Amino acid sequence: MKTKLSVNINKVALIRNSRGEQLPDLRKFAIDCEKYGAEGITVHPRPDERHVRYSDLPILKEVVTTEFNIEGYPSEHFMKKVLEVKPHQCTLVPDPPGVLTSNEGWKPQNHSEFLKVIIGELKEKEIRVSLFLDPIEEDIHAAKKVGADRIELYTGRYAHEFEKNKEAAILDHTKASNIANEQSLGLNAGHDLNLKNLKFYKENIPNLKEVSIGHALISDALYFGIQNVIGMYRRLLF
Ligand code: PXP
């Protein structure tokens, strides 16, 4: 299966916000990422809008021609904006408001009524819904029960363990990917994926539909340039 590369451009917005004007231009950056081969653009508006802002969403929706993926905690405000903008995909994360980055998945079984309502509202607008999860069997079953179309496996722990023992690090993810397959859930992955650990992940997770990568990819672009870097990541996904 071909795995799509969705570039998370939050860190580009972070640099822009540090000076209060439009440099770098987030809209142009998204257009250029697609021109250089990105198959999706991901943004994650956080409650304090320190990265991408809610006001960026309609501007990006207008220019993204591949797949627009908005991630975030489904607060009332987040839901209002996402339902207005109608991205192709919405990835729901369980983050508390002040968290630095998303570092654990949902336990959908503990929020099933809430998630069923939220997912229903998104699907009514034909927005595909992915739930951010740890690679845990009962959580995947619960994601199916609340109506998710896909799950996004949190790969932060994989990335850390990869440095010590990659075969051990991937085990939970191969099991989780088999369960997702049995449950007819599409499989995405993200967090701390980089040029070192992505190839091994892809080789071991045959049903991987999409990865969203931000921090490492944008950091690599400081050395190699965004055009080269998108090519470098995409070559690891075949
Ligand atoms: N997936 C989710 C749900 C995230 O919150 C993030 C970080 O914004 C990513 C993927 C991308 O992680 P990274 O920036 O480490 O590539």
Q: How far is the CA of 213 from the centre of ligand 1 (A)?
A: 6
- Give the number of the atom of ligand 1 that is nearest the alpha carbon of residue 159: 15
Assess whether pLDDT exceeds 80 at residue 97: no
Assess whether pLDDT exceeds 90 at residue 103: no
What residue owns the CA closest to ligand 1's atom 6?
Answer: 191
- Stretch 81-102: mean pLDDT, rounded? 89
Q: Could you tell which of 194, 215, 217, 219 is best to mutate to test the pocket of ligand 1, judged by most ligand atoms within 8 Å of the CB?
A: 215
What per-residue confidence (pLDDT) applies to 102? 74
pLDDT tens, 169-222? 999 999 999 999 999 999 999 999 999 999 999 999 999 999 999 999 999 999
Q: What is the DSSP letter of 109?
A: G
Q: What is the DSSP letter of 106?
A: B
Q: Read off the amino acid at residue 109.
A: Q
Q: How far is the CA of 216 from the centre of ligand 1 (A)?
A: 10
- Mean pLDDT score of the chain, rounded to an integer? 96
Assess whether pLDDT exceeds 90 at residue 101: no
Q: Could you tell which of 5, 49, 100, 101 is best to mutate to test the pocket of ligand 1, judged by most ligand atoms within 8 Å of the CB?
A: 101
pLDDT tens, 142-168? 999 999 999 999 999 999 999 999 999
Assess whether pLDDT exceeds 80 at residue 6: yes
Of how many residues is the chain composed? 238
What per-residue confidence (pLDDT) applies to 82? 98
- Domains in the chain, please, with CATH? 4-235 (3.20.20.70)
| Ligand 1 pocket residue status of 213, Cβ below 6 Å | yes
Strand-pair partners of 151: 131, 187
Catalytic, out of 34, 44, 51, 173: 44
- The CA distance from 179 to 173, in Å, is 10
Neighbouring C-beta atoms of residue 159, cutoff 10 Å: 19
| Ligand 1 pocket residue status of 68, Cβ below 6 Å | no
What per-residue confidence (pLDDT) applies to 21? 94
Is 191 marked active-site?
yes
Catalytic, out of 34, 39, 191, 210: 191
- Give the number of the atom of ligand 1 that is nearest the alpha carbon of residue 215: 14
pTM over 0.85: yes
Confidence bin at 95 (pLDDT 50/70/90): confident
What per-residue confidence (pLDDT) applies to 99? 75
* Max Cα–Cα distance, the chain, nearest Å: 48
